[in-house]
Structure 1
Amino acid sequence: MSKRGNAVRVLRLNASDDVLIAMQELRAGTHVPEEGLTMADTVPAGHKIAARDIASGEPVRRYNQIIGFATRAIPRGGHIHLHNLSMQDFERDYAFCADRKPEHTPGCKTDLLLNFDGIVREDGSVATRNYIGVISSVNCSATVCRQIAEAFRGEALAGYPNIDGVVAITHKSGCGMASNGEGIDLLRRVTAGYIRHPNFAAVLFIGLGCESNQVSSLLGAENLSESARLRTMTIQESGGTRATIERGIALVKELLPAANQVKREPVPLRYLTIGLQCGGSDGYSGITANPALGAAMDLLVQHGGTAILSETPEIYGAEHLLTRRAVSREVGEKLVSRIKWWEAYTSRLGGEMNNNPSPGNKAGGLTTILEKSLGAVAKAGTSNLADVFEYAQPVTTRGLVFMDTPGYDPVSATGQVAGGANMICFTTGRGSVYGCKPSPSLKLATNSPMYHRMREDMDINCGDILDGGLTVQESGEQIFRLIIETASGRPSKSEEHGFGEDEFAPWILGPTM
């Protein structure tokens, strides 16, 4: 690092890198003696500076990995960004299992907490929250679901202190689609994942009656049936909107007493499944919050827990770092097959994988999807890749796993929760606001200025790594402790703001008819 006084001015991430990271805005002509260069351009904070003269067509490395190719000559001290760096095809060495670690025994010795206070359900699953869900099969029943849930706001649950709320889970699909095939199978898998989710003590599932996504068909396809914790109804059979709302409120009232009969008790961390997300990323995401979250996930995996890395378009170009850690060639090839599916999918729709980063990411200093992906993969820590799952599939393997999802955070996190994630950890550099009931969501800020500006939305500041207050490992341990506290009932900032119902967003495949 190079400093002026106590302020870090530039950061070199790897001795072999072609770039330095500006830790503050550096004006053209500024001399950086520690690196022996003079700024050729003005470079904003978080953006990249050429550490050497780079010829047109040469690969450019950050994290000692290729992030793109120079589209013109870049002088030492020059600004590297959209105007002079672009994507280009190149070979990646997947080296399946080359970096696989020896198997470890969960429950390593540590001075950190080993349990959290969870809610053990009758089937042995463990909840971090205790909600009642009102779930729609189709957009046509969304208003009814919301109005039923609204009846239990305020003091309506005062007599039920162990219930965290009544949550409406609604969406924009369920009809105008084929009644069989990949599209509706995926919607049913997502919905069933929420119905089964341990964070719901009970669920009321409501349809219209004539939609493609029929209530009875979903139950049959997903091997679900009505029970003491699952009740169903349709608007058409119930006599219309008002009658359905009244009947729905009465059914929820019937579910409340049993849902309230829970208590938290210490359970091992192996019952924690964490969905990993990053959104509104910046040039610091891969330096602070993402590797700190990775350090926390290494601790979780050591204790038998599960971390779900996702957002396939946002690990594109960095997938070789995961295939090298796969527990078997079969697992590594499952990941590569999902990458190839995405290449074909985007090509078929006239897009490209480098449509990401988003405008906000680019403003924060990220230039190509390769650069963003290398930072995003850091959330996975250093554990072996134990398995690969398709979108919203039940996650049945402990350890670090991958779930194929889009990069759009609400759609991605919806798949993770449907797969069993009972918490989300979400890193952000620009300041994303997000929650995803029934699972609490923790927001990890990558830099201190944004954290202090948005501290009512951010749960933890990983910018302390840049400020010199914490190492990545220390920040990871801080995150790990906060995960345990939140899983034990401490509200997250997004929960305090009421986020989490409108963010349910199943991945829609196939045409809308």
Structure 2
Amino acid sequence: MTQTTTNTRVIRIHPNDNVAIVVEPGGLAEGAVIEGGVTTTMAVPQGHKVALVDLAEGERIIRYGEVIGTAATPIPQGGHVSETNLHMPTPPPLADLPLATRPAPKTAPLEGYTFEGFRNPDGSVGTKNVLGITTSVQCVAGTVDFVVQRIKRELLPRFPNVDDVVGLNHSYGCGVAINAPAAIVPIRTLKNIALNPNFGNEIMIIGLGCEKLQPSTLLSDRPVKIYENTEAADPEANVLSLQDDSFQGFGEMVEGILAMAERHLERLNRRQRETCPASELVVGMQCGGSDAFSGVTANPAVGFATDLIVRAGGSVMFSEVTEVRDAIHLLTPRAVDEEVGRALIEQMAWYDNYLAQGQADRSANTSPGNKKGGLSNIVEKALGSVIKSGNSPIVDVIGPGERLRSKGLTFAATPASDFICGTLQLAAGMNLQVFTTGRGTPYGLAMVPVLKVSTNSALGKRWHDIIDLDAGRIATGEASIEEVGWELFHLILDVASGRQQAAADRLGIHNDLVLFNPAPVT
């Protein structure tokens, strides 16, 4: 990314840009002078765009060196460019996009970096040691929540090597068309979340008994061992159903779950942190509450850290289809081969069709907060979003709910919703997440550390105890993209090692899991 700026008042990303975003806190008043002697014709808020030239009606508006729209009305030099005076262009056509045409950048391997993680029998590495209790149906969520609190009070203090116990509740499991083709998305999501490396291969499922999504489906590739309410209960049991005839009342159900959990905790407690190469990192990159600084500060720094992780042999995934769709022409050339390029296009086409079925399109993505932060439309947002992917080749594409298959940079297709994207990245196998935000969100996940990076220093200072890293220093010239990228890389290693705690974990701020269910509800 080319970034040019002549002063601290505005930032112009690319030499061809005919707009710049306002850096100055509080924005610019009418009559303020910016680069090239341009004088503002009206007040322009911080993060919003100011026209650097006169723009005729229909003229292309360029940011990041790319067209983000056309002027809906004449816009004078120094005028405020916003969603009210530009038309959104059509998305790039998916036919005839360049596939695997960009040679991979020549970079040296990054060697010698390690973290202290929990190595699992299957070779994966966790950054936390968590007992995850999966539910097969929402009906049992209240019971699991009740039991989790008792486990935390009564059992967890006895197992000092276990960080937490988490109920993996969701709204799926019954009242759904379980055999519909699209039902594979929520089903494989639940199966794969239970395999997340932070759960140490300990599978524990609480079901009701009569649900459509039977626990055996979630364990289709593993042995199903049923808990029985007897003195000789199987220590390897991984499924308990509340409708089991042997339970007399709610109290016995709870005691059964506690007994089952205790045996899982005993095994998890044997796990110890050990030195692991940075190649065992599996990092999900996501953004939420984006603003116009996202593509200038935090996301470029995250992209730099992405390339560092890939150079170290690690795995990184970026996601959010609607925040990729309008920049897909920049990504297909980076595919490692034509097959991966075609897979990118297939995911875009699938989601175009999914939105059309709901009589919506990708423009529904942009929120009021995004626009207040200076993002005029989804095109501008997407161009700033994909910068999280850095410059590394894209080695694979996975569908919603699928597990990561390759080291390197993967596109994990997900909706842009923070909670759904996070849930699907958990299923893909991430052991840590980086989350950039400009407007601010207290988002966090109990299952993996979530590092929040602010795009502007005003948010970083205002939310000083929620934000883990302030990338807004890039906009003011106090730090470079490279410096913040290295800082983030070292922070990832420290948090993955347990040497430092993510703010969301320190504060106990954790969001619910939200499944992506494109299948019918009956």
Query: TM-score under structure 1 normalisation?
Result: 0.94
Asked if residue 375 in structure 1 is aligned to residue 384 in structure 2, the reply is yes
Work out the CA distance in 2 between the residues paired with 1:483 and 1:217. Answer: 35
Work out the CA distance in 2 between the residues paired with 1:328 and 1:299. Answer: 22
Sort the Cα spacing of 1:287 and 1:204 in 2 relative to 1 into closer, same or farther, 3 A.
Answer: same
Work out the CA distance in 1 between the residues paired with 2:259 and 2:88. Answer: 58
C-alpha contact (below 8 Å) 1:136/1:169 kept by paired residues: yes
How far did residue 188 of structure 1 move? 1.9
Asked if residue 231 in structure 1 is aligned to residue 231 in structure 2, the reply is no
Sort the Cα spacing of 1:141 and 1:184 in 2 relative to 1 into closer, same or farther, 3 A.
Answer: farther
C-alpha deviations, 1:305-343, integer Å up to 9, x for none? 111010001112101111111111111111111111222
For 1:497, the equivalent position in structure 2 comes to: 507
How far did residue 218 of structure 1 move? 2.7
How far did residue 248 of structure 1 move? 0.3
How far did residue 288 of structure 1 move? 0.4
How far did residue 155 of structure 1 move? 6.7
Work out the CA distance in 1 between the residues paired with 2:397 and 2:417. Answer: 19
C-alpha contact (below 8 Å) 1:316/1:369 kept by paired residues: no
How far did residue 154 of structure 1 move? 4.5
How far did residue 230 of structure 1 move? 6.0
Structure 1 segment 309-458 matched on structure 2, within 5 A? 309-458=318-467
C-alpha deviations, 1:244-273, integer Å up to 9, x for none? 212101111122222111211111111111
How far did residue 225 of structure 1 move? 3.4
Structure 1 segment 147-186 matched on structure 2, within 5 A? 147-154=146-153, 156-186=155-185
Asked if residue 54 in structure 1 is aligned to residue 55 in structure 2, the reply is yes
Asked if residue 42 in structure 1 is aligned to residue 43 in structure 2, the reply is yes
Structure 1 segment 62-141 matched on structure 2, within 5 A? 62-89=63-90, 91=92, 94-101=97-104, 107-108=109-110, 114-141=113-140
SS where residue 158 of structure 1 aligns? Answer: helix
Sort the Cα spacing of 1:346 and 1:121 in 2 relative to 1 into closer, same or farther, 3 A.
Answer: same
C-alpha contact (below 8 Å) 1:184/1:213 kept by paired residues: no
Sort the Cα spacing of 1:10 and 1:166 in 2 relative to 1 into closer, same or farther, 3 A.
Answer: same
Q: Residue type of the partner of 1:512?
A: V
SS where residue 305 of structure 2 aligns? Answer: helix
C-alpha deviations, 1:284-306, integer Å up to 9, x for none? 00000000000001000001111
Work out the CA distance in 1 between the residues paired with 2:235 and 2:40. Answer: 68
C-alpha contact (below 8 Å) 1:29/1:40 kept by paired residues: yes
For 2:231, the equivalent position in structure 1 comes to: none
C-alpha contact (below 8 Å) 1:20/1:49 kept by paired residues: yes
How far did residue 181 of structure 1 move? 2.6
Sort the Cα spacing of 1:88 and 1:277 in 2 relative to 1 into closer, same or farther, 3 A.
Answer: same
C-alpha contact (below 8 Å) 1:81/1:365 kept by paired residues: yes
SS where residue 304 of structure 1 aligns? Answer: coil
C-alpha contact (below 8 Å) 1:277/1:427 kept by paired residues: yes
For 2:491, the equivalent position in structure 1 comes to: 482
Sort the Cα spacing of 1:91 and 1:408 in 2 relative to 1 into closer, same or farther, 3 A.
Answer: closer
Deviates more, 1:380-389 or 1:116-125: 116-125
C-alpha deviations, 1:22-64, integer Å up to 9, x for none? 11211122222x3221111211000001111111112211010
SS where residue 165 of structure 2 aligns? Answer: strand
For 2:230, the equivalent position in structure 1 comes to: none
How far did residue 156 of structure 1 move? 4.1
Q: Residue type of the partner of 2:437?
A: T
Work out the CA distance in 1 between the residues paired with 2:127 and 2:488. Answer: 17
May I ask how many residue pairs the two structures share in their alignment? 502
SS where residue 467 of structure 1 aligns? Answer: coil
C-alpha contact (below 8 Å) 2:52/2:78 kept by paired residues: yes
For 1:30, the equivalent position in structure 2 comes to: 32
How far did residue 224 of structure 1 move? 5.2
C-alpha contact (below 8 Å) 1:486/1:492 kept by paired residues: yes
C-alpha contact (below 8 Å) 1:288/1:466 kept by paired residues: yes
SS where residue 185 of structure 1 aligns? Answer: helix
C-alpha contact (below 8 Å) 2:180/2:520 kept by paired residues: no
Asked if residue 267 in structure 1 is aligned to residue 276 in structure 2, the reply is yes
Work out the CA distance in 2 between the residues paired with 1:370 and 1:403. Answer: 20
SS where residue 118 of structure 2 aligns? Answer: strand
Work out the CA distance in 2 between the residues paired with 1:447 and 1:101. Answer: 31
C-alpha deviations, 1:388-425, integer Å up to 9, x for none? 10012110111111011000011011111101111110
Q: Residue type of the partner of 1:235?
A: L
Work out the CA distance in 2 between the residues paired with 1:472 and 1:268. Answer: 25
C-alpha contact (below 8 Å) 2:412/2:425 kept by paired residues: yes
Work out the CA distance in 1 between the residues paired with 2:464 and 2:105. Answer: 40
For 2:228, the equivalent position in structure 1 comes to: none
Work out the CA distance in 1 between the residues paired with 2:368 and 2:345. Answer: 27
The runs of 4+ residues in structure 1 deviating greater than 4 Å are 90-93, 102-105, 227-230
Backbone CA RMSD of aligned residues: 1.8
Work out the CA distance in 1 between the residues paired with 2:153 and 2:494. Answer: 25
Sort the Cα spacing of 1:261 and 1:357 in 2 relative to 1 into closer, same or farther, 3 A.
Answer: same
Unpaired runs of 5+ residues, structure 1, are none
How far did residue 346 of structure 1 move? 1.2
Deviates more, 1:22-31 or 1:61-70: 22-31
For 1:467, the equivalent position in structure 2 comes to: 476
C-alpha contact (below 8 Å) 2:71/2:86 kept by paired residues: yes
For 1:253, the equivalent position in structure 2 comes to: 262
Q: Residue type of the partner of 2:503?
A: K
Task: State which of 293, 306, 309 in structure 2 corresponds to 1:300.
Answer: 309
SS where residue 196 of structure 1 aligns? Answer: coil
How far did residue 152 of structure 1 move? 2.4
Work out the CA distance in 2 between the residues paired with 1:120 and 1:479. Answer: 23
Work out the CA distance in 2 between the residues paired with 1:89 and 1:186. Answer: 29
Q: Residue type of the partner of 2:492?
A: I
Sort the Cα spacing of 1:86 and 1:159 in 2 relative to 1 into closer, same or farther, 3 A.
Answer: same
Unpaired runs of 5+ residues, structure 2, are 226-233
Q: Residue type of the partner of 1:99?
A: R
Work out the CA distance in 1 between the residues paired with 2:189 and 2:428. Answer: 8
C-alpha deviations, 1:149-199, integer Å up to 9, x for none? 111225742232110011111011211112313343222211111211221
SS where residue 131 of structure 2 aligns? Answer: strand
C-alpha contact (below 8 Å) 1:53/1:76 kept by paired residues: yes
Work out the CA distance in 1 between the residues paired with 2:223 and 2:86. Answer: 52
Work out the CA distance in 2 between the residues paired with 1:44 and 1:429. Answer: 14
